[in-house]
Amino acid sequence: MGAIYDDGAFFDNYYKLRQDKDNYNDNIEQPIMRALIGEVRGLSALDIGCGYGNMCAWLVSEGADEVLGIDNSSRMIDFAREHNRDAKIRYKVTDAETIDNTLGSFDLVVSSLALHYIKDLDRLFSEVCGLCRDHGRLVFSMEHPVFTSCLSTDDLWEYDADGKMSVYRLDHYAVEGVRHVEWLGKTITKYHRKTATIMNSLIRAGFEIKEVIEPSPTEHDIEHNERMRQELHRPAYLIISAEKR
C-alpha cells in the first residue's frame, strides 16, 4: 500500500486541519517537543516522518548544523522542499520501516506524530540507536496508547445532559497490533502498543529514558479553548525523551 499522505484528498484534509489555529500539533505537541529537544546549536539531526519540514526548519533556526528530514510521502517531501528549503536541510523520501546505518550518524533524532504508523517499532528504535552518536538523543511524540487502543469504531465518548463529553471509553488496551481507523475521510492503518511495550522497546534498543510526558491542559488552556477540556479525560499524545546509553 502507498503512503497515506500521498493521497490527494487526505493530504488536503490534513493540511486544513493543521491550518486551524487551535490545532493540537501547534498548541500542545510542538511546545513540549521543542522544550524537550532544548539546545541544538552545532548538532546534526534527523527528523523521522518530517512531513512539511517545519521541525527541520526550526532546528536550523535554533542553530543545528545539518538536518535530514525523511518521510515516506513524496507529496510531503515536495511540500517541505518548496516551503522549508535551507542549505542546511536535506529531505529524502524514505520509509522509516527500512532505515539503516546508510542514513549517517546523528546527535539528535526527532519524530513528531509518526511512530504510531510504524509496524516494527523494535526494529526502528534499534536502528535509530545505531544511528545515534555517543550520548545521542531521541525525542519523539506519538498518539497515546489510550488513544490508539480502541477496536470499536463507534463514538468513544459518552455525553452528559448538556451534550458535553463526560466519559472516554477505553477498549482493548491489552490487544496490541494493527488498527484500521476512519480519519479525514480515509481508512488509515496504525499500530497500537501498550505504554510499557513502547518504553521497554526503547530500553532494549539501548536508550535510557530521560523524560515521559502525557500532556494535560491547564485551566488557562481550557479557558482559551473549550475543546481542551476533553484532554482531562485522556492524553492524546505520549512524548518521550531518551538518550543512547
Ligand X SMILES: C[S@@+](CC[C@H](N)C(=O)[O-])C[C@H]1O[C@@H](n2cnc3c(N)ncnc32)[C@H](O)[C@@H]1O
What's at 174, amino acid-wise? A
Only one residue has cell 532544548, namely: 38
Instruction: Give me 149's grid cell.
Output: 487502543
Integer Cα distance of 196 and 75 in angstroms: 34
Task: For residue 117, give the 3-state DSSP assignment.
Answer: helix
> Considering the complex, what minimum distance in angstroms separates the CB of residue 181 from ligand X?
13
> Considering the complex, what minimum distance in angstroms separates the CB of residue 84 from ligand X?
10
- Identify which of residues 20 and 171 has a Cβ nearer to ligand X in the complex: 20
Q: Dihedral sign, CA of 89, 27, 217, 10? A: negative
DSSP string, 19-59: HSTT-HIIIIIHHHHHHHH---TT-EEEEET-TTSHHHHHH
> Considering the complex, what minimum distance in angstroms separates the CB of residue 71 from ligand X?
4
- The closest of 137, 147, 143 to 172, measured between CA atoms, is 147
> Considering the complex, what minimum distance in angstroms separates the CB of residue 28 from ligand X?
12
- Identify which of residues 49 and 215 has a Cβ nearer to ligand X in the complex: 49
Q: Which residue's CB atom is positioned nearest to ligand X?
A: 51
Residues binding ligand X (CB under 6 A)? 3, 5, 25, 49-52, 54, 71-73, 76, 95-97, 112-114, 117-118
- Identify which of residues 13 and 197 has a Cβ nearer to ligand X in the complex: 13
Partners of 89 in beta bridges: 67
Instruction: Give me 245's grid cell.
Output: 546509553
Integer Cα distance of 179 and 116 in angstroms: 10
> Considering the complex, what minimum distance in angstroms separates the CB of residue 158 from ligand X?
27
Only one residue has cell 479525514, namely: 184
- Identify which of residues 91 and 117 has a Cβ nearer to ligand X in the complex: 117
> Considering the complex, what minimum distance in angstroms separates the CB of residue 12 from ligand X?
14
- Identify which of residues 207 and 237 has a Cβ nearer to ligand X in the complex: 237
